[in-house]
Amino acid sequence: MSELVFKNAESATAVKQAYRKVLDLWPVPRSEREIQTRHGKAFVISCGPESAPPVVLFHGSQANSAAWLPDIAAWAARFRLHAIDMIGEPGLSEHVRPELEGDTHAQWLDDVFGALELSHAGLVGTSLGGWLALDYAKRRPGFAEALVLICPAGIGRQKNFLLKALPLLLFGSWGARKVREMVFGPAPKSLPPQQQTIAGLMDMIGKAVKPRVVAIPRLSDTELRTLTIPTLAIIGARDALIDSFDTRERLRACAPQAEICFLEDGYHFLPGHTGRILEFLERNLSK
């Protein structure tokens, strides 16, 4: 069912092959599982000591678990990590896109967590993965021990990004570069080899995948207030997709326990917080 995610079967095959090559760069020993659920297969990468506190990683839209490569070595030294490819995205899970409203994604994760024998975990999610973490935490109280939300959807107002992006795309490669800079910020002059490989995969995904053009459900004030667990939110003032100022104010009002890292020069892509997140998880997860 790749036509629901990819523009054509050829691009689906190319992205999967490239993703597999990137996974060969995983910096610690890992296991891989394909879990059958009521909503299709789920692909999970697990690593770190089996007796360590569990942490589940949710990547963002138009991405897969390769996005976590820069963080894995540090986090896996302290936690048992489970990186899950989200359904409906260019990973190795099912290429179906259920409605974001309703219980479907929570049911899917119920089946995944049951197969992994997880009754609790810290949840780390970026962008749409932040929404997935929030949605599961609100629907399954008691599972999430702590939340790390990186430029999360589901709290602040969703901006009409396409309104700004579509005119730029009429200008070919120059316009595409400008759109990319709106999301990721100015491109660095050079990248380490590992980052170059990941960036190459993400560029391929950007050309091969049909973007989600949907309104992402936001938690109500009441739902946010029920999430009293330790929370770290890392957000950027220049986020082109989500109103980060709205995210900050709603967290301050409805989740006063949340630690908010508000980056004045931050975009929607916020790398480089491996240590900050590790310290937060070490403070707040069961030993």
Flag whether pLDDT at 161 surpasses 80: no
CB atoms within 10 A of CB 254: 18
Q: How high is the pLDDT of residue 1?
A: 35
- Quote the pLDDT of residue 160: 80
User: What number is the average pLDDT over the span 171-191?
Assistant: 69
d(CA 136, CA 181): 31
Q: Is the pLDDT of residue 246 over 70?
A: yes
Is the residue at 287 inside a domain?
A: no
Q: Which of 88-92, 150-154, 173-177 has the lowest mean pLDDT?
A: 173-177
DSSP structure class, residue 212: P
pLDDT value at 32 more than 90: yes
Residue 178's domain is classified under what CATH number? 3.40.50.1820
The answer to whether position 237 is within a domain reads yes
According to the model, what pLDDT value does residue 197 have?
Answer: 84
List CB contacts of 203: < 8 A, sequence separation 6 or more: none
In a domain, 86, yes or no: yes
Quick one: pLDDT band at residue 165, thresholds 50, 70, 90?
Answer: low
Distance CA 29, CA 257 (A): 35
Q: 32 has which bridge partners?
A: 45
Question: What pairs with residue 263 in β-bridges?
Answer: 236
Specify the number of domains making up the chain: 1
pLDDT of residue 2: 35
Give the bridge partners for 140, in sequence order. none
Q: H or E segment at 258?
A: none
- 192: pLDDT strictly greater than 90: no
Answer yes or no: is 206 within a domain. yes
Confidence of residue 203 (pLDDT cuts 50, 70, 90): confident
H or E segment at 49? none
The 8-class DSSP code of residue 264 comes to T
In a domain, 177, yes or no: yes
**Is residue 239 pLDDT above 60, yes or no?**
yes
In a domain, 38, yes or no: yes
| Angle of CA points 215, 219, 222, to nearest 5° | 150
* Radius of gyration of the chain measured on its C-alpha atoms: 18
pLDDT tier for residue 171 given thresholds of 50, 70 and 90: low
In a domain, 120, yes or no: yes
Tokens standing for 222? 């009441």
If we measure between CA atoms, which residue out of 37, 7, 73, 46 comes closest to residue 274? 73
For residue 144, the enclosing domain spans: 2-282
265 domain residue, yes or no: yes
Question: What's the average model confidence in pLDDT over 256-283?
Answer: 95
Angle among Cα 110, 7, 208 to the nearest 5 degrees reads: 85
Look-up: residue for tokens 């929030």? 134
Question: Are the C-beta atoms of residues 90 and 209 closer than 8 Å to each other?
Answer: yes
By mean pLDDT, which of 14-28, 85-99, 180-194, 248-262 is the weakest?
A: 180-194
Q: Is residue 234 predicted with pLDDT exceeding 80?
A: yes
Q: Which two tokens stand for residue 265?
A: 């020069």
First to last CA, the chain: 42
Give the residue with greater pLDDT, 121 vs 193: 121
For tokens 């170059």, what's the residue?
196
What is this structure's pTM?
Answer: 0.93
Label residue 187 by pLDDT band (50, 70, 90). confident
138's CB contacts (< 8 A; 6+ apart) are: 219, 223, 226, 227
Percent of the chain whose predicted confidence (pLDDT) is above 70: 91
Confirm if 42 and 112 have CB atoms less than 8 A apart. yes
Mean pLDDT score, 218-243 = 96
